[in-house]
Amino acid sequence: MNIVLWVLQIVLGAGFLYSGWLKAFQLDSARAAWSWVNDVPQGLVMGIGIAELLGVLGLILPMALRIQPQLTPLAAMGLAAAAGSGLVFHLLRGEPNVWINIIFIVLAVIITVGRFPLLQGR
pLDDT one-digit tens code per residue, 10-20:
999 999 999 99
**pTM for this predicted structure:** 0.92
Whether the predicted pLDDT of 97 surpasses 70: yes
- Counting other chains too, the contacts that 10-13 makes at CB distance below 8 Å and 24 or more residues apart are 10/60, 11/107, 12/59, 12/76, 12/79, 12/104, 12/107, 12/108, 12/111, 13/56, 13/59, 13/60
pLDDT of residue 117: 79
